[in-house]
């Protein structure tokens, strides 16, 4: 349950105070005295387990400072605002202390036997205490037989000469020397640690080996005969030469995880004198069984051939945050065990078929945040064990290189289309791309075994009516937030997009500008448990629209007016915050439902508020009384009838408007068909005159394709039997070899009308303009308007007026514009055909009216 909530609604984790007691006090187990201006150790119960004394003014700790606290496990004494003196056996009254935190103190005096008696001490924190080499040489840690973690970071230690008592610290596993000033470490210094195993040996940020030159012959292997799980030598300014010398020096020592982040290897841009790592750089690690190598945060520009060849055991290689721009052939040869390769945050621009050769075990490649635009088709095909490919935030425009995988991240790329989906996948992440057509959603859903599909932040808004969904798809989670599904659904199509998703459990439709939910859109979602409709524009939920087994519904930030509680019967969690409730009596059922329902209502009561009437704006629904509503019943029912009447009228009006704006094309087709059926042969018989053609269509040859599809196919008899007109156009009817002018003249005179399709190309075509003038001159001589001008595309008045002959025509006559809305085309063509067939007498007024109508619609 919490899981779903987390997913769908985001659980607000109430930050609980660390301990249930007030500051500067104690209960049986915890004594909380941080920031209490203490100068001495306070008296606490002998049952105390945690004593927290940081951020005070305690200056002295001696053997008598603490009462005998047998139960005490944790003592925090860090960050005292005065210099601290710690005397002999200062903590001996705390025999079971496990953790002693003295971090960030200015320790002026530390008795060499200060820590004696702490035989159970597991962790000792001495970071940032101004300690010098003496802390290591003085035997301060002798007899701490349980000491496992020792934190000496951020001190003033210059050399690691260790007291011989370190040899007895058999529990010591983790030792932290980060941020000191240890410029070299040689074999002699760490002798007491030989034969030991460490989980962490931290030497980060010490300028180790980079400040002073090292004579490795003398220095030898500092980690001889040691086994380290993690050796952190990052941030030491290591160049390729230092890394190479170090690798050779520690030859044979076991290091499972070598952290070499924040190095200075690599040429970056332009620094030709600084080398990228090569075959020799890591060669000395050939016997160290390195499993994990972190080379992140550096300047590696080119991955050289066989650079990692010796790292046969390497499983994880992190090259993120470098400047990698080229991958040489055979760069990854030898990495026989590598499973995870991280090259994120680099500068790769293209990937080639050969780039990942030599990685037989690779399962995960992280390439996010590069600039990859081009990927050769077979780049990943050979990687038989590859499961996860992360290509987020690159510049990818096609997916034809994707093999079948479990997990694919492609978010934040430049995908506009998805052709060629030939792969299978379990999880596909495609957020933040530029997909517009729902056709891609339909095809993605059909990917075998797909369980999770993330398509947030695309531009899904276009629906091709011919799409059909498949049945019984495997998808379980679908993320479609931040698209524009409203635009797709308001065309009346794609309402069946979720039809096959019988296994879907979680669906996000937030931020889609939805002002309605298509009837039946969730009909087959019998497995759906969580639905987010957050941040849409829904005003109502029609009964039965929600899937039957829905448990969690987020419909916050919509415009719900007065929801019907019966819609929510199956729910266990509901978020209705930030809606625009109308607090009138109609809402009283919902208000009393809210007050007594078992459904967990998410969010604070103050976020469920009225938006109307004005006197109630912002008032929580929980603080509204519904008592008066019952007395008003009669009045209410009258008001209700009026309301219904008003609603019905308004709905009818809206429907009419909707039909006119959205479905006028369809209506026109119906009307037209009926007309034809009734007056079937009327049109044909009505005319016969001397013209060879009904109309000469004059257009630029560059527009031919479009004209053919938009006009000729729908009007000319040769294209279809249903067409009525006998048209003339250059591509078909002009006599070859004849003078072009003569052809044009013949066409104009042998056609009843001349239709000029004025487009951008038309205006640039001399012949077209010539034909226009010629047709216009025939108008003058005939005293009737044979010329019909159709403007195509977004030509401005100004662009038309630039041409003299057109200017003359436009000033005196109306012209037509090709409709922008597809559904108006049928109507437009019909009008045009009527115009062409109309015989012009002297009845100018009539034609004027007709044209008026045509132009206003466009």
Ligand X SMILES: *[C@@H]1O[C@H](CO)[C@@H](O)[C@H](O)[C@H]1NC(C)=O
Residue with tokens 């370190």: 166
CA 229 to mean position of chain CA atoms: 36
- Report how far apart, in Å, the C-alpha atoms of 845 and of each of 49, 542, 842 are: 103, 52, 9
Please count the helices (runs of H) and the strands (runs of E) in the chain: 20, 39
For residue 472, state whether it binds ligand X (rule: CB under 6 A).
yes
Residue 39 interacts with ligand X (CB under 6 A): yes or no: no
Overall residue count recorded for the chain in this entry = 858
CB of 480 to ligand X, least distance (A): 21
214 is a site residue for ligand X (CB under 6 A): yes
Cα–Cα distance measured from residue 450 to residue 408, given in angstroms and rounded to the nearest whole number: 11
- Position among 43, 468, 598, 794 found at the interface with ligand X (CB under 6 A): 598
Quickly count: other Cβ atoms within 10 Å of residue 34's Cβ: 16
Q: Judged by CB under 6 A, which of 80, 236, 245, 532 binds ligand X?
A: 245
Q: Are 500 and 470 in contact (CB under 8 A)?
A: yes
Query: Nearest residue to ligand X, using CB?
Result: 318
* Contact track, ligand X, 100-139, x by CB under 6 A: ----------------x-----------------------
Q: Please give the residues from 674 up to 733 whose contact with ligand X meets the rule CB under 6 A.
A: none
Is the Cβ–Cβ distance between 445 and 472 less than 8 Å?
no
- Give the one residue of 21, 36, 99, 452 binding ligand X; rule: CB under 6 A: 36
Binding of ligand X by 277 (CB under 6 A): no
Name residues contacting ligand X, limited to 477-516 (CB under 6 A): none
3-state DSSP assignment of residue 752: strand
Among the listed residues 4, 7, 21, 24, the single contact to ligand X using CB under 6 A: 24
Stretch that binds ligand X, among 6-14, 56-64, 312-320, 841-849 (CB under 6 A): 312-320
The reply on whether position 216 binds ligand X by CB under 6 A is yes
Nearer to ligand X, 273 or 690 (CB): 273
Indicate the residue among 318 and 579 with the shorter CB distance to ligand X: 318
Indicate if the alpha-carbon torsion angle 323, 327, 328, 334 is positive or negative.
positive
Minimal distance, residue 115 CB to ligand X, in Å: 10
Which member of 176, 232, 294, 482 binds ligand X (CB under 6 A)?
294
Q: Least distance to ligand X from the beta carbon of 318, Å?
A: 3
Angle at 775 between CA 769 and CA 777, to 5 degrees: 105
Give the end-to-end CA distance of the chain in Å, rounded to a whole number.
Answer: 55
CB closer to ligand X out of 250 and 769 = 250
Among 267, 446, 474, 710, binds ligand X (CB under 6 A): 474
* Cα 388 to Cα 404: distance, rounded to the nearest angstrom: 10
Shortest spacing between CB 270 and ligand X, in angstroms = 22
Sole window of 541-549, 587-595, 658-666, 836-844 interacting with ligand X (rule: CB under 6 A): 587-595
Is 296 one of the binding residues for ligand X (CB under 6 A)? yes
Question: Dihedral, CA atoms, 670, 676, 679, 680, nearest 10 degrees?
Answer: -150
Whole-number Cα distances in Å, 700 to 556, 757, 758, 766? 55, 8, 8, 9
Site mask for ligand X (CB under 6 A), range 838-857, x = bound: --------------------
- Scanning 211-219, 353-361, 393-401, 735-743 for contacts with ligand X by CB under 6 A, the matching segment is 211-219
* Cβ–Cβ under 8 Å, residues 172 and 166: yes
| Distance in Å, CB of 157 to ligand X, minimum | 22
Among 120, 143, 417, 750, binds ligand X (CB under 6 A): 143
Q: List the one residue from 176, 366, 393, 733 that touches ligand X (CB under 6 A).
A: 366
Give the integer Cα–Cα distance in Å for 269 and 289.
33
Per-residue contact string for residues 603-642; x = within reach of ligand X by CB under 6 A: ----------------------xx----------------
The only residue of 424, 526, 592, 674 in contact with ligand X, by rule CB under 6 A: 592
The CA distance from 188 to 172, in Å, is 19
In this chain, which stretch among 33-41, 129-137, 570-578, 702-710 interacts with ligand X, using CB under 6 A?
33-41
Q: Determine the size of the site formed for ligand X (CB under 6 A).
A: 42
Would you count residue 595 as binding ligand X (CB under 6 A)?
yes
To ligand X, the closest distance from the beta carbon of 239 in angstroms equals 7
State whether residue 176 is helix, strand or coil. strand
Measured from the CB atom, the residue of 241 and 635 that comes closer to ligand X is: 241
Residue by residue, DSSP assigns 504-525 as: --EEE--SS--S---TTTTTT-
Q: Does 184 bind ligand X (CB under 6 A)?
A: no
Interatomic CA distance for residues 576 and 567, integer angstroms: 13
Q: Any residues with CB less than 8 A from the CB of 360 and at least 6 apart, and which? A: 336, 384, 385
Q: Is 164 in the site for ligand X (CB under 6 A)?
A: no
Using the contact rule CB under 6 A, the part of the chain among 32-40, 155-163, 706-714, 792-800 near ligand X is 32-40
Candidates 243-251, 270-278, 504-512, 519-527; binding stretch for ligand X (CB under 6 A): 243-251
CB of 623 to ligand X, least distance (A): 7
Q: How far apart are CA 290 and CA 184, in angstroms?
A: 23
Site track for ligand X across 68-97, x = CB under 6 A: --x---------------------------
Strands 30-32 and 25-26: antiparallel
Q: Are 134 and 108 in contact (CB under 8 A)?
A: no
Q: Which residues contact 698 (CB under 8 A, 6 or more apart)?
A: 729, 730, 744, 747, 754, 755, 756, 757, 768, 771, 772, 775
Give the residue, chosen from 34, 142, 352, 639, that forms a contact with ligand X under the rule CB under 6 A. Answer: 142
Could you give the CA distance from residue 758 to residue 143 in angstroms, rounded to a whole number?
A: 99
- Give residue 381's Cα distance to chain centre: 26
Identify whether the C-beta of residue 251 lies closer than 8 Å to the C-beta of residue 197: no
Residue 503 CB, shortest distance to ligand X, in Å, is: 7
Residue 248 near ligand X by CB under 6 A: yes
Residue 46 within binding range of ligand X, rule CB under 6 A: yes
Beta strands across the sheet bearing 751-758 = 727-728, 693-698, 751-758, 787-791, 816-817
3-state secondary structure of 612: strand
User: 96 or 745, CB closer to ligand X?
Assistant: 96
The residue among 143 and 207 lying less far from ligand X, judged by its C-beta, is: 143
Reading the block at residue 136, the tokens are 């290591």
Q: Which stretches of 548-689 are DSSP H helices?
A: 588-596, 627-631, 633-678, 682-685
Q: In whole angstroms, give the CA distance from residue 503 to residue 370.
A: 36
Part of the chain binding ligand X (CB under 6 A), chosen from 278-286, 370-378, 484-492, 831-839: 278-286
Interface with ligand X (CB under 6 A), residue from 200, 316, 406, 667: 316
- Helix, strand, coil percentages (3-state) for the chain, rounded to 5, are 25, 15, 60
DSSP 16: -
Residue 320 · residue 343 · CB < 8 Å: yes
Nearest-angstrom CA–CA distance, 609 and 618: 5
Q: Is 342 in the site for ligand X (CB under 6 A)?
A: yes
288 lies in the binding site for ligand X (CB under 6 A): no
Contact segment (CB under 6 A) with ligand X among 314-322, 513-521, 668-676, 717-725 equals: 314-322
- Examine residue 241 and tell whether it contacts ligand X (CB under 6 A): yes
Closer to ligand X at the Cβ: 596 or 684?
596
Torsional class of 382: left (φ above 0), alpha (ψ -120 to 50), beta (otherwise): alpha
- Give CA–CA dist 359/350, Å, rounded: 19
Binding test (CB under 6 A) with ligand X, winner from 115, 364, 522, 699: 364
**Which residue ranges make up the site for ligand X (CB under 6 A)?**
24, 35-37, 46, 70, 116, 142-143, 213-214, 216, 241-242, 245, 248, 251, 261, 283-284, 286, 294, 296, 316, 318, 320, 340, 342, 344-345, 364, 366, 472, 474, 591-592, 595-598, 625-626
């Amino acid at each position: 349950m919490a899981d779903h909530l987390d997913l769908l609604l985001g659980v607000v984790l109430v930050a609980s105070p660390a301990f249930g007691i007030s500051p500067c006090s104690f209960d049986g187990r915890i004594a909380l005295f941080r920031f209490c201006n203490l100068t001495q150790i306070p008296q606490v119960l002998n049952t105390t387990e945690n004593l927290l004394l940081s951020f005070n003014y305690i200056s002295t700790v001696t053997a008598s400072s603490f009462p005998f606290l047998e139960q005490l496990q944790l003592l925090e004494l860090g960050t005292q605002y005065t210099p601290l003196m710690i005397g002999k056996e200062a903590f001996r009254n705390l025999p079971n202390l496990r953790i002693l935190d003295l971090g960030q103190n200015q320790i002026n005096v530390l008795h060499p036997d200060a820590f004696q008696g702490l035989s159970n001490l597991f962790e000792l924190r001495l970071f940032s205490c101004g300690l010098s080499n003496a802390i290591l040489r003085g035997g301060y840690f002798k007899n701490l037989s349980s000491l496992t973690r020792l934190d000496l970071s951020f001190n003033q230690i210059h050399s690691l000469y260790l007291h011989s008592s370190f040899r007895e610290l058999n529990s010591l596993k983790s030792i932290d020397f980060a941020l000191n000033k240890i410029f070299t470490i040689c074999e002699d210094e760490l002798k007491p640690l030989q034969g030991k195993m460490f989980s962490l040996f931290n030497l980060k940020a010490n300028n180790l080996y980079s400040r002073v030159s090292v004579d490795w012959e003398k220095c030898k292997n500092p980690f001889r005969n040691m086994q380290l799980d993690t050796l952190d030598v990052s941030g030491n300014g290591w160049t390729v030469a230092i890394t190479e010398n170090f690798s050779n020096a520690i030859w044979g020592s076991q290091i499972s995880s070598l952290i070499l982040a924040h190095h200075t290897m690599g040429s970056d841009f332009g620094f030709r004198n600084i080398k990228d790592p090569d075959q020799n750089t890591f060669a000395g690690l050939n016997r160290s069984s390195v499993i994990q190598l972190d080379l992140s945060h550096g300047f590696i520009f080119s991955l050289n051939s066989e650079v990692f060849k010796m790292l046969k055991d390497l499983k994880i290689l992190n090259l993120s945050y470098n400047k990698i721009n080229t991958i040489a052939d055979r760069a990854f040869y030898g990495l026989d065990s590598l499973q995870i390769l991280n090259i994120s945050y680099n500068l790769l621009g293209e990937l080639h078929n050969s780039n990942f050769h030599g990685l037989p075990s690779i399962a995960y490649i992280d390439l996010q945040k590069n600039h990859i635009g081009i990927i050769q088709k077979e780049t990943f095909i050979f990687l038989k064990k590859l499961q996860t490919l992360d290509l987020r935030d690159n510049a990818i425009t096609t997916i034809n290189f994707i093999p079948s995988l479990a997990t694919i991240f492609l978010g934040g790329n430049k995908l506009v289309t998805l052709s060629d989906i030939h792969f299978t996948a379990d999880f596909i992440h495609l957020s933040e791309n530029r997909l517009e057509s729902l056709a891609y959603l339909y095809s993605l859903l059909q990917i075998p075994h797909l369980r999770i599909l993330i398509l947030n932040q695309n531009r899904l808004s276009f629906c091709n009516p011919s799409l059909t969904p498949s049945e019984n798809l495997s998808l379980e989670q679908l993320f479609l937030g931040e698209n524009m599904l409203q635009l797709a659904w308001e065309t009346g199509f794609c309402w069946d997009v979720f039809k096959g998703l019988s296994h879907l459990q979680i669906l996000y439709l937030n931020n889609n500008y939805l002002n309605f939910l298509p009837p039946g859109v969730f009909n087959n979602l019998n497995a759906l448990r969580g639905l987010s409709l957050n941040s849409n524009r829904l005003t109502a939920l029609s009964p039965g629209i929600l899937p039957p087994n829905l448990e969690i519904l987020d419909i916050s930030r919509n415009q719900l007016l007065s929801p019907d509680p019966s819609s929510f019967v199956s729910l266990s969690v509901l978020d209705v915050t930030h809606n625009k409730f109308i607090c009138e009596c109609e809402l009283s059922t919902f208000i009393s439902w809210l007050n007594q329902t078992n459904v967990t209502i998410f969010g604070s009561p103050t976020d469920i508020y009225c938006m109307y009437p004005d006197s109630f704006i912002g008032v929580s629904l929980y603080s509204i009384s519904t008592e008066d509503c019952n007395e008003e019943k009669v009045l209410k029912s009258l008001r209700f009838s009026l309301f219904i009447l008003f609603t019905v009228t308004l709905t009818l009006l809206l429907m009419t408007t909707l039909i006119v704006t959205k479905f006028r094309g369809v209506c026109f087709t119906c009307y037209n068909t009926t007309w034809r059926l009734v007056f079937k042969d009327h049109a044909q018989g009505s005319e016969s005159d001397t013209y060879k053609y009904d109309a000469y269509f004059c257009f630029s040859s560059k527009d031919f394709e479009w004209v053919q599809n938009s006009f000729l196919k729908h009007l000319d008899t040769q294209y279809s039997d249903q067409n009525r007109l006998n048209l003339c156009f250059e591509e078909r009817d002009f006599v070859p070899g004849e003078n072009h002018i003569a052809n044009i003249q013949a066409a104009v005179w042998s056609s009843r009308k001349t239709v000029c399709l004025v487009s951008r190309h038309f205006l640039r075509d001399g012949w077209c303009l010539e034909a226009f003038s010629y047709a216009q001159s025939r108008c003058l001589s005939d005293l009737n308007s044979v010329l019909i001008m159709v403007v195509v595309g977004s030509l401005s008045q100004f662009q038309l007026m630039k041409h003299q002959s057109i200017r003359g025509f436009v000033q005196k006559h109306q012209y037509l514009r090709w409709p922008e809305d597809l559904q108006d085309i049928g109507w437009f063509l019909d009008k045009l055909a009527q115009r062409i067939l109309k015989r012009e007498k002297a009845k100018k007024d009539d034609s004027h009216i007709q044209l008026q109508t045509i132009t206003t619609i466009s």
